[in-house]
A and B are shown apart, each in its own frame.
Chain A
């Protein structure tokens, strides 16, 4: 259908991102925010940070999943309209990182919701985060 092709084209040209912190130490968060600012400026690629899960195509998750946050990110994931993609940013979001055996931490994001792209680093540089989004776009354009 034409409308679906237009929607798919628009999604690839301008992915809208929801950023969630599930218990991160803030360093990945400030690097995600730094990616928006003049030095890196992801908006020139059409990537926008959106405050609501209802508007988002991509969920960028930073931090190890704490016991408190697990239920919340599951709910946010369900609120996001299909098709949706998840990027796990930072070592903690991948495996729990340095917090692996802390009692308040469940582990990586993929223990709770499915993840499409992993961006390693503690914290990853803004360049690496942008590269992660580009990889996601490539993956989606090849049909997931």
Chain B
């Protein structure tokens, strides 16, 4: 029996981002997947090397609005490395706290979205209600709900005092109780088990071979967490153990995120207790003091995020800037997960890697060989031949 092409996207209701997937289906089963990315391609890397370092921080923040703190943190660390600047210890702790708050909001967001996609709207609303208290904390610390603009080259922009510390601790202790409740729901609820357990299986060997990162890899039993393997910011002084699940299905990837919520809260609490006093930033020259390169790797909410910058001496613009985002690394893995699944499971599997296409399309090599493009080409060819 021949397969049928099911075209999803670029504009579709499941995820609020434009991307296009061509699913080859045989009855109800997906046989093959062809992703077509690039609808959100804006040309950020080129723009980064045309703007000054100070402006670049604000542009990398807008690579992805959800994990914006991860992007500014990586960029600041990469540029500081190239400049040869050492930031104060207090700012490292503050960066870790805001980075983990950002992870809390990102994980709550995607857990809610997955619940919505499997038809569990009540839990979606509950997750998003709890996310609002995290947004309030981020607003209190940084001054904005989403785009925090907190990390700058040489440190952080704002300090926190005793009032903020008690506020954060109070909110986190009540949130931790609710997250434990949700974890129980995910363990026991028959709806969630039926829609998630055993769906979208990715074996440990495949995850390794396809280069999966972040919660996607950790859900398949791979011990990959930059916070443990290569501690940055304040992680070298804070206890942290990677969360690993061996099931390799949608359920395992969601459980990794739920457990990471609790782990993140512990990290924030520990940072608040251990935080040293002192300055929060050091002055940094506008132009690069030397021709050098800086690489920074961090664990963003979706996985490993790499920024790589080349500086030119006495130039206030980077010579070249390269960003490698986690969702781009996870696309081959998600194509593998989708093979052999039912059509109805597609949204849940896609959402289980927490895809972020604004990250992915930033510098994706676009394959214009998709069916639609060919049709346009034939039409334009026909038009040209008439002239």
State in angstroms the CA–CA spacing of A105 and B124 once bound together: 33
Residues of A within 8 A of B (CB): 19-34, 37-39, 51-52, 63-64, 66-69, 72, 76, 97-99, 101-105, 122-123, 125
B10 CB contacts on chain A under 8 angstroms: 68-69, 72
Residues of B within 8 A of A (CB): 10-13, 16-18, 38-44, 46-47, 50, 58-59, 62-66, 68, 109, 112, 124-125, 128-129, 131-132, 135, 145-147, 356, 358, 361
- 26 A-B residue pairs with Cβ-Cβ distance under 8 Å, sorted by A, are A23-B42, A25-B64, A26-B17, A26-B66, A26-B356, A27-B68, A27-B146, A28-B65, A30-B65, A32-B16, A33-B128, A34-B131, A34-B135, A37-B128, A37-B131, A38-B128, A51-B12, A52-B13, A69-B39, A98-B59, A98-B62, A99-B62, A102-B47, A103-B43, A104-B42, A122-B62
Chain A residue at smallest Cβ distance from B135: A34
A28 CB contacts on chain B under 8 angstroms: 65
State in angstroms the CA–CA spacing of A52 and B70 once bound together: 33
Chain B residue at smallest Cβ distance from A23: B40
Q: Which of A32, A34, A98, A99 has the most CB of B within 10 A?
A: A98
B16 CB contacts on chain A under 8 angstroms: 19, 21, 26, 29, 32-33
Q: Are the CB atoms of A31 and B146 closer together than 8 Å?
A: yes
A39 CB contacts on chain B under 8 angstroms: 128-129, 132
Q: Are the CB atoms of B65 and A66 closer together than 8 Å?
A: no
Q: Which of B16, B128, B129, B135 has the most CB of A within 10 A?
A: B16
CB distance from A97 to the nearest CB of B (A): 8
CB distance from A15 to the nearest CB of B (A): 17
Given A27-B147, A104-B42, A20–B11 Cβ distance below 8 Å?
yes
Given A34-B128, A76-B11, A69–B18 Cβ distance below 8 Å?
yes
Given contacts A34-B128, A37-B132, A123-B65, 20 further A-B pairs with CB under 8 A are: A20-B11, A25-B63, A26-B16, A27-B66, A27-B68, A30-B65, A30-B146, A32-B16, A34-B132, A37-B124, A37-B131, A38-B132, A66-B39, A69-B10, A98-B62, A99-B44, A102-B43, A103-B47, A105-B43, A122-B62
Q: Are the CB atoms of B46 and A103 closer together than 8 Å?
A: yes
State in angstroms the CA–CA spacing of A26 and B68 once bound together: 10
State in angstroms the CA–CA spacing of A121 and B46 once bound together: 25
Q: Are the CB atoms of B42 and A66 closer together than 8 Å?
A: yes
State in angstroms the CA–CA spacing of A32 and B15 once bound together: 13
Cβ 8 A contact of A101, one of B11, B40, B50, B65? B50
CB distance from A102 to the nearest CB of B (A): 4
A102 CB contacts on chain B under 8 angstroms: 42-44, 46-47
State in angstroms the CA–CA spacing of A30 and B132 once bound together: 12
State in angstroms the CA–CA spacing of A29 and B65 once bound together: 9
A20 CB contacts on chain B under 8 angstroms: 11, 18
Q: Are the CB atoms of A66 and B59 closer together than 8 Å?
A: no
CB distance from B39 to the nearest CB of A (A): 4
A101 CB contacts on chain B under 8 angstroms: 47, 50
B135 CB contacts on chain A under 8 angstroms: 34
Chain B residue at smallest Cβ distance from A40: B132
**Leading 6 A-B pairs by shortest Cβ distance:** A27-B65, A51-B13, A37-B128, A104-B43, A102-B43, A25-B65
A103 CB contacts on chain B under 8 angstroms: 43, 46-47
Q: Which of B10, B42, B146 has the most CB of A within 10 A?
A: B42
